Amino acid sequence: MVARFIDSFDLGFLRPKLKDSEMGPGWNDEEIERAIRRFKRFFYMTGTQTIPGGPGFVPTKEIDWVWHMFLLYTKRYAETCFNLFGRMIHHAPDEDASMESKNQLRKGFSATAELYQRLFGENYGEVRAECGACCDGSGGCHSCQHIAVEQQ
């Protein structure tokens, strides 16, 4: 089922932007393929799963790049959400830099990583230095994104 989901929509149109080091991260073909695969898995989780206690899904930096690029194509993004899930999957960055918010981000990242590992048998944070690794609560790290997924 997950494999069919991942194959059900193509994000190849994002490759030029993800290769571009001025507009995007400047990744090579292998990095782009890995990032798109991981984003699709994350997208599947946000649309079909819940995290008990509701800390929210938290993407890795790599996944967030793909998500941001996909969001630039608003019509295509909305159509994909409604076709796959029957609703929008909203990206809601955390604007609160408080210690409580950072703790929620860490909890959300850990919960997302556990679910990712369980569903896909792959370490969620093994590819790059991830959000969960840089946010130690001492301040300075504002790259983490807390994702609010509306439950219906």
- Find the angle CA(44)-CA(79)-CA(24) to the nearest 5 degrees: 70
Is 112 domain-assigned? Answer: yes
> What's the pLDDT score for residue 60?
93
pTM of the model: 0.80
Among 60, 68, 66, 65, residue whose Cα is nearest residue 131: 60
| Cα–Cα distance for residue pair 59/144, rounded to 1 Å | 8
> What's the pLDDT score for residue 92?
79
The domain total for the chain is 1
> Mean pLDDT in each 10-residue stretch from start to end of the chain (152 residues)?
82 96 94 96 94 84 96 96 94 72 84 94 65 37 40 35
> What's the pLDDT score for residue 65?
96
Is 53 domain-assigned? Answer: yes
Is 59 domain-assigned? Answer: yes
State which residues form the domain around 18.
2-134
Is 140 domain-assigned? Answer: no
Among 36, 17, 39, residue whose Cα is nearest residue 26: 17
Is 141 domain-assigned? Answer: no
Among 148, 1, 151, 13, residue whose Cα is nearest residue 77: 13
Going 137 to 142 to 144 to 150, the CA torsion angle's sign is positive
> What's the pLDDT score for residue 3?
76
Is 103 domain-assigned? Answer: yes
**Cβ burial, residue 9 (10 Å; 0-12/13-18/19+):** middle
Q: End-to-end alpha-carbon separation of the chain, Å?
A: 21
Buried b (16+ CB within 10 A) or exposed e, 51-82: beeebbbbbbbbbbbbbbbbeeeeeebeebbe
- Cα–Cα distance list, 147 to 8, 31, 144 (Å): 23, 23, 10
Is 79 domain-assigned? Answer: yes
Is 22 domain-assigned? Answer: yes
